[in-house]
Amino acid sequence: MKVLKFGGTSVGSVENMQNVKNIINDGEKKVVVLSAMSGTTNHLVAIAQNIADKKTDEALDSINNLHETYFQTVDKLLFNETLNKDVKAYVSDVFNFLIACTYKEFSKVLENSILAQGELLSTYMFNSYLKQEGVKSALLPALNFMRINAENEPDMESIKAGFKAVLNEAEPSDIYITQGFICLDVNDDISNLQRGGSDYTATIIGAAIKAEEVQIWTDIDGMHNNDPRYVDNTKPISNLSFEEAAELAYFGAKILHPQTVTPVRDDNIPVRLKNTMKPEAYGTLINSDHSEVGVKAMAAKDNITAIKIKSARMLNAHGFLKKVFEVFEQYQTSIDMITTSEVAVSLTIDNDANLENIIAELEKIAHIEVDKNQSIICLVGHCIVNHPETHKLFQILQDVKIRMISYGGSNNNISLLVDTKDKINTLQKLNDYLFELVV
């Protein structure tokens, strides 16, 4: 069985939902994971923030506006009167729940329950639309099987058993529709797999059922060799290894949730990226093939903090780095990049929740400098470190100030740290040097 995930844009309009119907209606048995309609989760985040800020009137205004937009979509999508009425009743229940939330004390659990409504709405609407179109489908409630453990990792054993049970209870069908993103936590409270998490839902289900393939359908024809939001002339990459895809996703390629390939990599379940609006385009196939070498793609990750730790005592002193790393371990903060010289070590973190404590500890052993608003630019490809063309990347040094370079940590990744204000320029120049100009 295959697992097909459709993102926000793919279910974001009546036209696109028609495309989705045509893609999935091929007589093959499949699981279909849907995101919320595009924009909805952002609206829900804003509503939750209004409730947290006690801006009840603003929250109620947003809720009423979104309710109205959903009614308009239902009217466009569902001409069958019974289904139209039934879905409007469901939509109204959701919006009444949101209104009730504005009178409640704000909490993380309340916020997560609010955020979950987008996927509940899109799946209910789409399932009804398939009914209207005579396509047999069944809804599998994600909250009955998708679960994370105390470390916020998917609880695979419980998910496997839960999915099997939910599938057995469902009406036999070729198309099983479920919600991406949402799950239960160890306390049985509603939680989620973080923003963009529907990709992760798809590969978690893929691993749980040992799927033949997981497909991520979105609004672009696969993983491009650079970030199309910032750079001109980017091109789709037809094949990526699991390792390459994982690095690009972790280092900011928004097309994939950072953890997407983790669940399927060990079982070698291929992940295919496809464009809902252009199904004939090849897209990107992610599998264990490593045959192509050289720089394939780059991505950038923002909100990075660089910490420089300088100490005259570091010279010839063993045990200094151990002390430094222990501080980060104590505050459960992972390090992304690291470079050293005789008197200093520079490193980066992407989670500065404990920054003040970390600095206070480090200041006991060294002089500390902190730079915020940095971006990591990550170049990815098999054996790029030894590839003859890779040297072209160093032409970037004549154009942009590079704060750190990590070269050789692995054969497949080179990372540069730049000020975020230089990010777009760096990405464009690297694109020119590595993919466009013949030097």
Interacting residues with ligand ASP (CB under 6 A): 7-8, 35-36, 41, 118, 180-181, 195-198
Rounded least distance, CB 357 to ligand ADP, Å? 33
Return d(Cα 41, Cα 318) in angstroms, integer: 50
Return d(Cα 189, Cα 109) in angstroms, integer: 7
**Interface with Mg ion (CB under 5 A), residue from 118, 154, 180, 196:** 196
Which of ligand ASP, ligand ADP, Mg ion, none binds 197 (CB below 5-8 Å, type-dependent)?
ligand ASP
Question: Would you tell me how many other CB atoms lie within 10 Å of the CB of residue 111?
Answer: 20
**Interface with ligand ADP (CB under 6 A), residue from 2, 9, 305, 378:** 9
Q: Is 67 in the site for ligand ADP (CB under 6 A)?
A: no
Distance set, CA 138 to CA 35, 130, 178, 220, 391 (Å): 17, 10, 9, 28, 54
Which CB sits closer to ligand ADP, 254 or 310?
Answer: 254
Which of ligand ASP, ligand ADP, Mg ion, none binds 220 (CB below 5-8 Å, type-dependent)?
ligand ADP
Q: Is 431 in the site for ligand ADP (CB under 6 A)?
A: no
Which of ligand ADP, ligand ASP, Mg ion, none binds 191 (CB below 5-8 Å, type-dependent)?
none
| Pair 272, 284: CB distance under 8 Å | yes
Rounded least distance, CB 71 to ligand ASP, Å? 20
The sign of the dihedral angle between the CA atoms of 139, 140, 144, 146 is negative
Q: Is 220 in the site for ligand ADP (CB under 6 A)?
A: yes
Which CB sits closer to ligand ADP, 7 or 270?
Answer: 7
Q: Is 218 in the site for ligand ADP (CB under 6 A)?
A: yes
The stretches of 210-369 forming alpha helices (DSSP H) are: 242-250, 262-265, 320-330, 355-362
Q: Is 227 in the site for ligand ADP (CB under 6 A)?
A: yes
**Interface with ligand ADP (CB under 6 A), residue from 2, 3, 4, 7:** 7
| Pair 378, 248: CB distance under 8 Å | yes
Q: Is 285 in the site for ligand ADP (CB under 6 A)?
A: no
DSSP string for 271-300? EEEEETT-TTS--EEEES-----S--EEEE
Q: What secondary structure letter does DSSP report for 434? A: I
Long-range contacts of 153-160 (CB under 8 A, 24+ apart): 154/183, 154/193, 154/200, 154/204, 154/263, 156/204, 156/207, 156/208, 156/263, 159/204, 159/205, 159/208, 160/208, 160/209
Site size toward ligand ADP (CB under 6 A) is 18
Q: Is 35 in the site for ligand ADP (CB under 6 A)?
A: yes
Rounded least distance, CB 357 to ligand ASP, Å? 30
Return d(Cα 429, Cα 400) in angstroms, integer: 9
Q: Is 247 in the site for ligand ADP (CB under 6 A)?
A: no
Rounded least distance, CB 35 to ligand ADP, Å? 6
Q: Is 162 in the site for ligand ADP (CB under 6 A)?
A: no
Q: Is 240 in the site for ligand ADP (CB under 6 A)?
A: no
Helix (H, G, I), strand (E, B) or coil at 404: strand
**Interface with ligand ADP (CB under 6 A), residue from 78, 159, 204, 253:** 253
**Interface with ligand ADP (CB under 6 A), residue from 2, 3, 8, 129:** 8
The stretches of 296-351 forming alpha helices (DSSP H) are: 320-330
Rounded least distance, CB 253 to Mg ion, Å? 10
Which of ligand ASP, Mg ion, ligand ADP, none binds 253 (CB below 5-8 Å, type-dependent)?
ligand ADP
Can you say whether residue 106 is alpha, beta or left, with left for phi > 0 and alpha for psi between -120 and 50 degrees?
A: beta
Q: Is 196 in the site for ligand ADP (CB under 6 A)?
A: yes
Q: Is 391 in the site for ligand ADP (CB under 6 A)?
A: no
Return d(Cα 112, Cα 107) in angstroms, integer: 9
Q: Is 249 in the site for ligand ADP (CB under 6 A)?
A: no
Return d(Cα 162, Cα 146) in angstroms, integer: 8
List contacts with ligand ADP (CB under 6 A).
Answer: 7-10, 35, 196, 218-220, 223-224, 227-229, 253-255, 299
List contacts with Mg ion (CB under 5 A).
Answer: 7, 196
